């Protein structure tokens, strides 16, 4: 049997998301439960995949199925594509498995040609409407299918307005529109060397191809990469009967959310425009009316709509984001989907829905995108400072957060300037081309567009601060300044945006830390009840440790000791140690470092109490502590009282061809045991001191980096015990300590059974493990990783999202082998992947005991761990 590539809306349902895309599946589901949806059909994602496999052509069997579905649609509607009695017009819209707002292409009014236009005029009696629709089709078709920029057509419109002496499109009359259609067609003919296609079937097939093609356009590729959407998924295409919101004052169109997507408030929230097409609302060209004003214009439709929104929210058990159109007083639902929301809103909605009995705690936890928490966990404006400051202007609080930065005007400018300091992107309105720039800006400010404008939707998705539709903003891009409430701000001058209030301030407002109470606390409490994976933090200082505790860390999974040596008062002793010619000299230098290092650890233990603290011994190559340039070497040589040539000789002798794979990690204390002895002494003496001081029993975890063989961990364990046991015996305390290792070399992973004989714990160092497993130097991979992503050799940067398929196999092997040898082996991960939700799901499934991440990502990890447990109970 041949594959089915098209489904009528009446054939599908919400579970067919993979095949029909999110939009298609929801249109089918709304149809199924009896809501008013225009008739239509969906071309599957498999057809898209096939399109790419067939070298970007639509196979004859797929074309046949599309045409067959078209015939069925004509039967269902009683209209005919290209027909002169009752012509069928279509919208053709993309729809991937997950929503990618504005990333792909849409064509409306498809099916219009010269004859159909005349028929439509006969039917509607509205010549201006018909020619307006026709010129829009030519314009969209040119842009999307033929890659003729829209702007060329806009010029023709501007010329026409000039001829007629008018300013607004709406002032052009039916005749003007008719003339424009002719001018557009002529322009098309000149540009493409052929006529605008009059055959509606041809229009349809070309439009379908264009939507498939748009899956691979640059901005879609960027969006996918940012949101970890696999390229292999493809997009579906939804072909739907047109309904018109621009057929006069009894028609309209709008978008709405069942709850407020910025705050989470349980109140229908949305905007509409009468006598308009949907794109007019989303594009933010006209500022729309709030949804409740619809009640006054058409109470029946309003009530029907409210009822539908309630039905949908209950049905999907989640806040819905919907598009609708009213055609001559009749309501049509064009789309529904789970709405994007701010982190704050996500928490409130999740808690409210549990309280309303609408879903369970587990279901509520799954509704929150862990990465979104990031916005909550970062500073807000200091309320005291805000009290003393008057906003210079205000707009819509489109996406919360606090942002200060210098004013820039374009996405390219953001990319260029953001390296030198924070920037705020200020634009009349944003468009999909701006997406990369938006991601790098501290905040986004627009003059036009509502809460559902492109800027607002995208900023919320990114967790970026955004104030939209600020009427008091005038952008003088070419002259390099803006005015805000009449005050001039030049390019590069600082402004501050409060995305939670919509207020805009001149200059820089100080910020304060995030609070972790309220709905946030409730959700985190649920997450902690549910999850089986523990969450620790990577913290090198008492301050980091305090932040980590505040965010709910259960211990410290990684204290790097090397950072401590870079402080000005220490690096000198460190350098003395490095240039030492024998163990005695080295010991003398290390003796200077010992009390400082001991004090570091005391500070951390004082914060953490009896919670586990894992301290990693010195890891980086020694040359990192020495200067590189002759001038600096000369200066240091003088400071150290050494001949230049001798110090230069040391610097040269420590140079490495591949420092990542050189003399570092446990290789250092194996060559220079004095280093390991000093560090062990500092760790254990600090534990003794703080245990005595606080009357507690601290159990330090000493972590040996870069172990690849059993002999290394055995050597280090012996070295550590030989120092630690004496100190403990002298202290009179019954202090315990653990010795473990990083698993960051492939050899360590595959011989984990042997290594586990001498290790109390493993901590996967997934940064280095990824480097060694791929043979990717993190410092050099930028040369080829972008091409690898472009050419789809990789789905994502393996340093951002853990490579479960490859490197993950080594982790699984190490877990299995390690536990076979030592059933009590404690297993964690302390690479940067420890704060990445996708990676956390893998670590949960791999059976680790804990993840350790940066303090600010601890709540994200707690939530991600809970979600992993709900999805994959263990």
**Residue 560 token pair:** 């790097």
Q: Which is nearer to a copy of itself, 705 or 859 (CB)?
A: 705
For residue 495, give the H/E element and its range: strand 494-498
* Nearest CA-CA partner of 708 in 741, 675, 678: 741
122, 806, 816, 820: which one binds a copy of itself (CB under 8 A): 806
Which of 488, 779, 800, 816: binder of a copy of itself (CB under 8 A)?
A: 779
The correct pick among 208, 642, 810, 846 for binding a copy of itself (CB under 8 A) is 810
> Would you state the structure tokens that stand for residue 767, as one six-digit string?
């940064």
Distance CA 834, CA 813 (A): 19
Give the residue with the Cβ less far from a copy of itself, 287 or 709. 709
Three-state secondary structure call for residue 482: strand
Binding test (CB under 8 A) with a copy of itself, winner from 803, 832, 836, 841? 803
H or E stretch at 404: strand 402-408
- Which stretch in 282-290, 524-532, 553-561, 773-781 sits in contact with a copy of itself by CB under 8 A? 773-781
The yes or no reply on residue 805 touching a copy of itself (CB under 8 A) is: yes
- Binding segment (CB under 8 A) for a copy of itself, from list 449-457, 506-514, 782-790, 856-864: 782-790
787 lies in the site for a copy of itself, by CB under 8 A = yes
Cα–Cα distances in angstroms (integers) from residue 524 to residues 98, 103, 512, in the given order: 26, 33, 21
Instruction: Write the burial class of residue 645 (CB in 10 Å: 0-12 exposed, 13-18 middle, 19+ buried).
Output: exposed
> Is residue 858 close enough to count as binding a copy of itself by CB under 8 A?
no
**Residue 658 interacting with a copy of itself (CB under 8 A):** yes
Pick between residue 55 and residue 568 the one whose CB is nearest to a copy of itself.
Answer: 55
Nearer to a copy of itself, 81 or 706 (CB): 706
Cα–Cα distance measured from residue 808 to residue 632, given in angstroms and rounded to the nearest whole number:
43
Q: Which stretch binds a copy of itself (CB under 8 A): 128-136, 145-153, 639-647, 805-813?
A: 805-813
User: Pick from 514, 663, 733, 838: which binds a copy of itself (CB under 8 A)?
Assistant: 663
- By beta-carbon proximity to a copy of itself, the closer residue of 627 and 659 is 659
How many residues sit in the footprint of a copy of itself (CB under 8 A)?
A: 51
Residue 775 within binding range of a copy of itself, rule CB under 8 A:
yes
> Is residue 52 part of the contact set for a copy of itself (CB under 8 A)?
no
The residue (of 253 and 770) whose beta carbon lies closer to a copy of itself is 770
453 C-beta neighbours (distance < 10 Å), count: 27
**Is 628 a binder of a copy of itself (CB under 8 A)?**
no
Which CB atom, from 282 or from 716, has the smaller least distance to a copy of itself? Answer: 716
Closer residue to a copy of itself, CB minimum distance, 596 or 661: 661
619 near a copy of itself (CB under 8 A) = no
Which stretch, 182-190, 259-267, 453-461, 768-776, contacts a copy of itself (CB under 8 A)? 768-776
Which part of the chain contacts a copy of itself (CB under 8 A), choosing from 161-169, 266-274, 478-486, 666-674?
666-674
Write the binding mask 427 to 466 for a copy of itself: x where contact by CB under 8 A, - elsewhere.
Answer: ----------------------------------------
User: Does residue 359 have an active-site annotation?
Assistant: no
Catalytic status, residue 830: yes
Interaction between residue 712 and a copy of itself (CB under 8 A)? yes
Task: Select from 265, 459, 436 the least CA-distant residue to 375.
Answer: 459
Q: Is 581 a binder of a copy of itself (CB under 8 A)?
A: no
Residues 6-35 that bind a copy of itself (CB under 8 A): none
Among 14, 105, 768, 841, binds a copy of itself (CB under 8 A): 768
Among 295, 662, 731, 801, binds a copy of itself (CB under 8 A): 662
Q: Please give the structure tokens belonging to residue 35.
A: 């809501």
Listed ranges 265-273, 504-512, 580-588, 789-797: which one lies at the site for a copy of itself (CB under 8 A): 789-797
Q: According to the binding rule CB under 8 A, does residue 526 interact with a copy of itself?
A: no
54 or 779: CB nearest a copy of itself: 779
317 makes contact with a copy of itself (CB under 8 A) = no
Round to whole Å and give the CA distance between 870 and 864.
10
Residue 425 or 755: the one with the smaller Cβ distance to a copy of itself is 755
- Active-site entry in 830, 833, 844, 853: 830
Q: Please give the residues from 687 up to 706 whose contact with a copy of itself meets the rule CB under 8 A.
A: 706
- Which residue in 63, 86, 65 sits closest to 206, CA to CA? 63
Least separation, in Å, of the C-beta of 415 and a copy of itself?
A: 19
Of residues 481 and 788, the one with the C-beta less far from a copy of itself: 788
Query: Distance (Å, rounded) from C-alpha 94 to C-alpha 43?
Result: 10
Q: Quote the tokens at residue 236.
A: 């579906």
**Alpha-carbon torsion (199, 201, 206, 207), positive or negative:** positive
Contact predicate 847/812, CB 8 Å = no
Q: How many residues comprise the chain?
A: 874
**Active-site annotation holder among 48, 404, 418, 454:** 454
Collapsing DSSP to helix, strand or coil, 453 comes out as coil
CB 557 within 8 A of CB 537: yes
Residue appearing with tokens 């009449």: 486
Question: Could you give the string, one character per residue 812-831, with x where binding to a copy of itself holds by CB under 8 A and - elsewhere?
Answer: -x------------------
Return d(Cα 544, Cα 529) in angstroms, integer: 25
Residue in this structure with the two tokens 């196979």, named with its chain if needed: 59
Please give the structure tokens belonging to residue 554: 């259960």
Q: What is the DSSP letter of 237?
A: E
Give the residue with the Cβ less far from a copy of itself, 491 or 714: 714
Other Cβ atoms closer than 10 A to 84: 13
Q: What is the 3-state secondary structure (H, E, C) of 283-311?
A: CCCCCCEEHHHHHHHCHHHHHHHHHHHHH
Among 41, 715, 737, 799, binds a copy of itself (CB under 8 A): 715
Residue with tokens 């505790």: 549
Q: CA-CA distance, 268 to 265, in Å (whole number)?
A: 9
How far is it, in rounded angstroms, from Cα 124 to Cα 79?
A: 14
Closest CB to a copy of itself among residues 586, 862? 586
DSSP letter string, 56-115: S---HHHHHHHHHHHHHHHHHHT-EET-SSSEE-EEEEEEESS--TTTS-EEEEET--HH
CA-to-CA dists, residue 627 to 181, 562, 567, 623, angstroms: 70, 16, 14, 8
Q: Rounded to 5, what percent of the chain is helix, strand, coil?
A: 50, 15, 30
**Could you tell me the smallest distance in angstroms from the CB atom of residue 857 to a copy of itself?**
26
x-or-dash pattern for a copy of itself, window 190-219, by CB under 8 A? ------------------------------
Told to check if 794 binds a copy of itself by CB under 8 A, we report: yes
Distance between CA atoms of residues 759 and 824, nearest Å: 10
Binding mask 730-749 for a copy of itself (x = CB under 8 A): --------------xxxx--
Backbone angles phi, psi at 253, to 5 degrees: -155, 155
Give the range of 597-605, 731-739, 779-787, 839-847 binding a copy of itself by CB under 8 A.
779-787
Identify residues 667-686 at the interface with a copy of itself (CB under 8 A). Answer: 667, 670-671
- H or E element in which residue 594 lies: helix 583-608
- CA separation for the pair 660, 772 (Å, rounded): 9
Measured CA angle at 837 (ends 608, 867), to 5 deg:
90
Candidates 222, 297, 474, 750: give the one binding a copy of itself (CB under 8 A): 750
Contact 333, 322 (CB under 8 A): yes
Residue with tokens 């761990």: 865
Single residue of 310, 784, 800, 816 touching a copy of itself by CB under 8 A: 784
Residues that bind a copy of itself (CB under 8 A): 656-663, 665, 667, 670-671, 706, 708-709, 711-712, 715, 744-747, 750-751, 754, 768, 771-777, 779-781, 783-784, 787-788, 791-794, 803, 805-807, 809-810, 813
> Catalytic amino acids?
454, 830
């Amino acid at each position: 049997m041949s594959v089915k590539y098209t489904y009528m809306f009446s054939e599908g349902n919400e579970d067919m998301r993979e095949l029909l895309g999110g939009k298609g599946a929801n249109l089918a589901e709304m149809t199924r439960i009896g809501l008013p949806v225009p008739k239509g059909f969906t071309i599957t994602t498999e057809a898209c995949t096939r399109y790419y496999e067939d070298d970007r052509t639509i196979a004859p069997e797929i074309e046949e199925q599309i045409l067959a579905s078209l015939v069925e649609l004509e039967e269902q509607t009683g209209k005919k594509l290209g027909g002169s009695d009752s012509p069928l017009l279509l919208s053709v819209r993309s729809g991937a498995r997950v929503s990618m707002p504005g990333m792909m292409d849409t064509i409306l009014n498809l099916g219009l040609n010269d004859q159909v236009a005349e028929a439509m005029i006969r039917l509607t009696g509205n010549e201006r409407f018909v020619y307006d629709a026709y010129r829009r089709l030519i314009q969209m078709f040119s842009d999307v299918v033929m890659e003729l920029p829209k702007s060329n057509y806009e010029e023709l419109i501007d010329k026409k307005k000039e001829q007629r002496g008018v300013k607004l499109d709406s002032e052009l009359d039916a005749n003007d529109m008719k003339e424009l259609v002719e001018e557009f067609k002529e322009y098309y003919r000149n540009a493409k060397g052929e006529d605008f296609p009059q055959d509606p079937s041809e229009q349809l097939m070309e439009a379908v191809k264009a939507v498939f093609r748009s899956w691979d356009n640059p901005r879609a590729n960027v969006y996918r990469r940012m949101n970890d959407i696999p390229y292999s998924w493809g997009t579906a295409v939804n072909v739907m009967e047109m309904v018109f919101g621009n057929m006069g004052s009894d028609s309209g169109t709008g978008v709405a959310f069942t709850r407020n997507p910025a705050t989470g408030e349980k109140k229908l929230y949305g905007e509409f425009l009468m006598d308009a097409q949907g794109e007019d609302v989303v594009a933010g060209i006209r500022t729309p009316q709030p949804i409740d004003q619809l009640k006054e214009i058409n109470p029946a439709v309003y009530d029907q709509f409210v009822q539908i929104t309630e039905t949908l929210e209950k049905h999907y058990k989640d806040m819905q984001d919907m598009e609708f159109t009213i055609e001559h007083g009749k309501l049509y639902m064009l789309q529904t989907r789970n709405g994007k929301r701010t982190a704050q809103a996500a928490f409130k909605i999740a808690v409210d829905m549990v309280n309303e009995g609408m879903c369970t705690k587990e279901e509520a936890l799954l509704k929150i995108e862990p990465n979104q928490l990031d916005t909550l966990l970062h500073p807000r404006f200091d309320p005291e400072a805000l009290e003393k400051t008057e906003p210079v202007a205000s707009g819509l609080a489109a996406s919360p957060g606090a942002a200060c930065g210098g004013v820039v005007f374009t996405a390219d400018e953001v990319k260029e300037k953001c390296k030198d300091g924070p920037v705020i992107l200020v634009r009349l309105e944003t468009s999909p081309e701006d997406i990369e720039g938006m991601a790098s800006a501290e905040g986004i400010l627009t003059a036009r567009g509502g809460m559902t404008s492109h800027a607002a939707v995208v900023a919320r998705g990114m967790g970026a601060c955004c104030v939209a539709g600020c009427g008091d903003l005038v952008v003088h891009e070419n002259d390099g300044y803006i005015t805000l409430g009449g005050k001039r701000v030049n390019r590069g001058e600082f402004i501050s945006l409060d995305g939670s209030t919509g207020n805009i301030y001149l200059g820089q407002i100080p910020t304060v830390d995030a609070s972790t109470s309220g709905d946030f606390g409730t959700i985190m409490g649920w997450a902690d009840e549910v999850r089986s994976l523990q969450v620790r933090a990577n913290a090198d200082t008492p301050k980091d440790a305090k932040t980590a505790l505040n965010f709910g860390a259960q211990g410290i999974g990684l204290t790097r000791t090397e950072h401590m040596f870079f402080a000005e008062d220490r690096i000198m002793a460190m350098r003395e140690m490095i240039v030492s010619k024998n163990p005695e000299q080295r010991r003398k230098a290390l003796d200077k470092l010992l009390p400082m290092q001991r004090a570091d650890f005391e500070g951390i233990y004082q914060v953490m109490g009896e919670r586990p603290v894992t301290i990693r011994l010195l890891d980086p190559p020694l040359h990192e502590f020495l200067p590189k340039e002759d001038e600096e070497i000369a200066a240091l040589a003088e400071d150290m009282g050494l001949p230049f040539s001798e110090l230069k000789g040391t610097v040269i002798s420590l140079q490495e061809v591949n420092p990542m794979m050189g003399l570092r990690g446990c290789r250092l204390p194996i060559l220079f045991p004095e280093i390991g002895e000093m560090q062990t002494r500092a760790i254990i003496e600090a534990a003794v001191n703080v245990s005595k001081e606080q009357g507690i029993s601290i159990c330090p975890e000493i972590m040996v980096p870069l172990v690849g063989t059993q002999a290394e961990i055995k050597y280090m364990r012996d070295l550590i015990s030989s120092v630690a046991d004496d100190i403990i015996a002298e202290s009179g305390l019954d202090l315990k300590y653990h010795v473990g290792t990083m698993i960051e070399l492939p050899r360590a992973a595959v011989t984990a059974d042997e290594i586990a004989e001498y290790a109390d714990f493993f901590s996967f160092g997934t940064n280095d493990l990824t480097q060694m497993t791929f043979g990717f130097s993190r410092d050099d991979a930028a040369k080829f990783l972008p091409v690898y992503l472009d050419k789809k050799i990789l789905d994502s940067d393996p340093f951002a999202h853990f490579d479960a398929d490859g490197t993950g196999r080594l982790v699984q092997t190490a877990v299995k082998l390690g536990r076979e040898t030592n059933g009590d082996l404690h297993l964690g991960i302390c690479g940067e992947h420890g704060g990445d939700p996708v990676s956390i799901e893998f670590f949960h499934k791999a059976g680790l005991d804990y993840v350790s991440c940066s303090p600010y990502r601890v709540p994200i990890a707690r939530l991600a761990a809970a979600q992993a447990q709900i999805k994959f109970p263990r």
